Amino acid sequence: MSWRRHLRPTLAEVSVYDVAPSTAPSRMHANECPEPWPERVREALAEVVRGLELNRYPDTSGRTLRRVLAERHGCEPQRVVLGNGSDEVINLLLTALSGGPERGHLVIPTPTFVMYAHVARVLGVEVREVPVRDDLELDARAMRAALPGAAVCFLARPNNPTSSLWSASLIRELIAAFPDTVFVIDEAYAAYDPGCTLWDPAGPDNQVHMATLSKVGLAGLRVGYCIAAPELAGALNKVRHPYNISQTSIALAETVLTRFADVQAAMIAKTIENRGRLVAILSRVPEVELFPAHGNLVLVRFRDDARAHAVRDQLAAAGVRVKDLTRVAKLAACLRISVGTDEDLDRLAGALGVASTL
């Protein structure tokens, strides 16, 4: 007899998600907003922290931050559920929606954000992966074939790691055609394609909007959220741990969103501008294929895996870290390169031996 018999059997097939911190001068692998906050903002945030009662618990559900987010989205605060990053929100959704007698499955296009499948497999939820087409767009017929009986479908738009912006009309058709499935539209990168959002406060109750502050300059706070129909939001709060967002994260996020929204918008605009510059740099590299970029990341394919690995190592030697996707289905010979600062892009161009200007 051993305590091991009590372990979830599903864990045997799941790997630990653990990435060593990077000390590279140019970290262009994690899809963060690269632009630093101005010193005046940092000083203001330090003052906010100094005023916190760190010996006291935070609000159990982050009411003040939920109110700010609700005002931004034009909905009732009770529909907003906060999570420790999008990862916790994914966990809440799958936990709340995986207990029915029919044990509906999860549908995800692939490749996509790895945590959808990771969390599902930990919880023992069946995962049905639907490969995207060769052009990295959704396969409409295959999606329709996989969705009957599904409890949840995650659709990242723009998608990570491909930076694709999947068809809005197709997604709306699927949401209408499968009312028994909850469609979670993950718009973590939507700020980098202004106007692309599918959020609608009057949308159907099987559509959930999910977003995060991690990709727009506040990755260190770990604040994600979703907006769901009231009944579903209530269910998510039943499985959400109280005090899941620290008082520090609540206060700093609220301060940025209310006092420094203009600074954040400028940081995002600069990142969009530098995405164009990154695309221009990569287009000068011989024998590459660039896919349309809608997030703060660019997917590039080389002639083969060996060439992709050589470029990865060449960049690493120059202090530029990028994401190797060569082992991901559909992404052979591909690297994912996050948008960087002006300095990052100069370093990248120098390592590639190409011009760094537009």
CA–CA dist 27, 152 (Å, integer): 33
Would you say residue 87 lies in a domain?
yes
Where residue 336 sits, what CATH number does that domain have?
Answer: 3.90.1150.10
CA–CA dist 335, 29 (Å, integer): 9
Q: Which of 213, 228, 259 is the last residue of a domain?
A: 259
Model confidence at 1: pLDDT above 90: no
Same domain for 230 and 86 = yes
Tens of pLDDT, residues 152-177: 999 999 999 999 999 999 999 999 99
Same domain for 128 and 69 = yes
Contacts of 283 (CB under 8 A, 6+ apart): 290
Same domain for 83 and 153 = yes
Which helix (H) or strand (E) segment is 264 a member of?
A: helix 261-283
Report the percentage of the chain scoring pLDDT > 70: 100
Q: Which of 200, 227, 259 is the last residue of a domain?
A: 259
Q: Which of 221, 242, 259 is the last residue of a domain?
A: 259
Same domain for 74 and 135 = yes
Tens of pLDDT, residues 325-357: 999 999 999 999 999 999 999 999 999 999 877
- Contact in structure between 105 and 127 (CB atoms under 8 Å): yes
Would you say residue 11 lies in a domain?
no
| Number of compact structural domains in the chain | 2
Range of the structural domain that residue 276 is part of: 23-38+262-352
Tens of pLDDT, residues 92-117: 999 999 987 888 999 999 999 999 99
Among 354, 176, 180, 163, which Cα is nearest to 272's? 163
Model confidence at 358: pLDDT above 80: no
Tens of pLDDT, residues 32-72: 999 999 999 999 999 999 999 999 999 999 999 999 999 99
Would you say residue 15 lies in a domain?
no
Same domain for 271 and 255 = no
Mean pLDDT, the chain, rounded, equals: 97
pLDDT band at 146 (very low <50, low <70, confident <90, very high): very high
Same domain for 299 and 249 = no
Tens of pLDDT, residues 244-265: 999 999 999 999 999 999 999 9
Same domain for 159 and 69 = yes
Would you say residue 6 lies in a domain?
no
Tens of pLDDT, residues 283-298: 999 999 999 999 999 9
